[in-house]
Every structure is written in structure tokens, then in C-alpha cells.
Amino acid sequence: MDLSREEERLLESDNPTIAKCMEILVALGEIFGADRLIPIKSAHISGISYKNIGEEGLEWLKNLNAKVRVRTTLNPAGMDLERWNEMGLDEGFARKQIEVLKALESIGAELTLTCTPYYIHRPSFGDHLAWAESSAVVYANSVIGARTNRESGISALASAIIGKTPRYGLHIKENRVPAVLVKVKGDLNPSMVGYKLGNEIDGIPIFKFDRKLSDDELKQLGASLASTGNVAMFHVVDQTPEWRDFEIPREKIEVDKAEVEDDCEPDLIALGCPHLSANEIIEIAKIVEKYGKPKKRVWLFTSRHVYENLDNLIKRLEGKGIKVFRDTCMVVSPATERFECVMVNSGKALTYLPKLRKVKAVFGSTNECLRRAFE
């Protein structure tokens, strides 16, 4: 991989943090056949819950001695920063989580604490990024038309500090070509379509639906694809920005059903994986208007940014006994580990709750989840 003189100086820097970050990026570039490093507009770092990184990860963050060079946002933490006690978390965990965030803030990262950073700072078409968090990566590539590979938390942090990323994979137009056409028949739930197909698809899919998907449905489709498979990008005919740039592939899959068995009775309804958009919260509020108090616990998860813009609406939801948490989600927080079965409207949550939190999960549409909570 060709390095400029400046990049060579960074690789040989007396600052061990900068040198190590350059080593990480050069190693990635050599593994994946990159020809050079390219500047990025932003970075997004995942894996910041103390539950995930533990004491060793915290100590590593504390020892970083550099500042980020580009806008750097952070994925959800392991708790709502103000209401962690309502989530059933102990003070020891809360203290350690705050230490993680202070360490990241000290290098210049923004405490966005959301898996939907595009609701706060939306990239432009063609922007090169270094984003971790699989659902944000697939949204940025597919719905926005920005360019990012599926980074790890470490490689995204290294790119944030250097301000560059290796040029390979989805940063190159030719690598964004669809490999298979997926025809979806009927009004299937896009999240469940992604959940079912993620591990069956090799390469980038292009979907043809019988109707236009909303932005939130595109978000859920991508999040599910990325959680069950290694999909970092998709196209949708007549919707996504790059679908016309390539020929429709000859290989074809037809999908006319996408269901999973409901094998446990939920004691928690959890919505917001990825984090709820303003439109999703507004829709939830409309649905629950016809109900009284929920008979099961209902937890909603969103970013602080969305929460603060819907303050009055969220107060009405909380008046019904629904908890609306910020900064975290049901997948990265250990708070969900005390439940037996969680009902979700997300293929991503359906995938990761059993794997990461060791709890059973069942799926339903937003309407089905809320009906189950109240009836």
C-alpha cells in the first residue's frame, strides 16, 4: 500500500497512540488489498458498553493519547446515563460506564450514544466514512449512498484519530454492484425479510418490493440483513440512490413468506433496535392512544437527540407507564438479562438478544408488540 510522506511520519510517530492507529490501518489495507489511505468525513465507534469492553478495554481507552481528526460519534452505551437505576443496573456498573465515556470524550468523540448517527449528522452521497455498527453501515451505504466498510470499533477509532481509512471494499464503486435480485411478493415485514435472508445471500442484494418502503422500513431491512449475515449494502428498485447505476443481476430469489415461531410469553416489550426515529415514536404514540395502561413492561429506546425533540409526546407515553430510555438499547445493556422473554419488532434484536443477553426473544410488528403489551 502506498503511503504519503505524512502517513509514513505518522506510522513512525513518537506518540504510541498515533503509531498504533496507523499500524492498524496499514495492516487492514494490506490484508484487503487497498492501494492507499483516503480521507474520511466521519467515524462512528461501536462496542462502547462497559458490558462489552470490560476493565481491559477501559484501561486501553484511558491510555489513548491523541485527538480525533474528524467528527466521531458513538454507539449506545450500556445504560441510560440518567435513569440507569430505573433499568435495574447497579451503581458499580454505572460508574464504570461513565469512565468509558469520559475516556472517549477526552479524545474528542461526541457522546451521541446512538446506533442511528445519521439522524444527528447525516452524511452526503459519496462521502467516505469509517463506521462501525452494522445497522448504521448498511443504512449509510444503501439509503444515503455514502461509502463505508463494516469497521470494527477498533478500526473505526483508529480512522477517527488518523482521519483516513484504507481504500478497499465498498469505498470503490465497482464493489457496490448487486449480485442477486430478491423479489418480495406480498406485504411482508421488511425486518423479517432481512432476518430470513441475511445468511442466505452471498454478495449485495437488490430488492424489488410490491410497494414503496418507508425510510424506517429500509432501516429495519438493512439492520436485519446485517445481523444475520455479512451484508453491508443493499439496493431497492425505484428507491435507493444507486440502484440504476448497475445492471439487474440474472440470479434471482423469490420470497413470499417470512415468519418465525412464537415460542415464549414475553415479560418485556422492547422497541428501538436500531434506535427509534421521531416518526416511529409518533406512530407508537398514535397506536397506544386507544389503550389504557400496559399489562406488560414496555421499553422504548431512542437517541437523546430524538428524545429532546419530542419531549411533550414522550411525557404522554411515560404517563401511560411506558419507559422511554436514551443512550442505550436492549441489546447492549445488561438490563434485559433479568427478563425471561423479550418481544421485539426487529430482526436485529431477535438475533442478538439470545446471543448477547442470553434471553429468549419473539418477533412481532409494532402493532402486534403493542397489542401484546396492553391486552
CA 293 to centroid of chain Cα atoms? 31
pLDDT of 190:
97
Q: What percent of the chain has pLDDT over 90?
A: 95
Establish whether domains 5-171 and 177-255 are of one fold: no
Task: For CA atoms 154, 43, 344, 206, give the dihedral sign.
Answer: negative
pLDDT of 263:
84
Is residue 272 helix, strand or coil?
strand
Range with the poorest average pLDDT among 125-134, 141-150, 249-258, 334-343: 249-258
Residue 375 — pLDDT band, cuts 50, 70, 90?
confident
Where do the structural domains in the chain lie, given as residue ranges? 5-171, 177-255, 268-374
- Are 213 and 221 in contact, with CB atoms under 8 Å apart? yes
CATH architecture of structural domain 5-171: 2-Layer Sandwich (3.30)
pLDDT of 113:
98
- The residue type of 352 is Y
Q: What is the pLDDT of residues 300-337, one digit of tens each?
A: 999 999 999 998 999 999 999 999 999 999 999 999 99
CATH architecture of structural domain 177-255: 3-Layer(aba) Sandwich (3.40)
C-alpha span between 326 and 300 (Å, rounded): 9
Helix (H) or strand (E) holding 90: none
On the question of pLDDT at 258 being above 90, the answer is: no
User: Could you tell me the end-to-end alpha-carbon distance of the chain, in angstroms, rounded to an integer?
Assistant: 61
User: What phi and psi, each to the nearest 5 degrees, are found at residue 91?
Assistant: -65, -35
Q: What is the pLDDT of residues 26-68, one digit of tens each?
A: 999 999 999 999 999 999 999 999 999 999 999 999 999 999 9
Average pLDDT score over residue span 153-161? 98
C-alpha span between 215 and 198 (Å, rounded): 19
- The residue type of 191 is S
Return the CATH number of 268-374, one of 3.40.50.920, 3.30.499.10, 3.40.109.10, 3.40.50.300: 3.30.499.10
Radius of gyration of the chain (CA): 21
Average pLDDT score over residue span 133-148? 98
**Residue whose C-alpha cell reads 407507564 in the numeric block:** 321
Helix 16-32 to helix 153-162 angle, to the nearest 10 degrees?
A: 120
pLDDT of 259:
83
Q: Which of 48, 6, 1, 53 is nearest to 27 (CA)?
A: 1
Q: DSSP character for 117?
A: G
Give the residues across from 180 on adjacent strands. Answer: 205
pLDDT of 274:
98
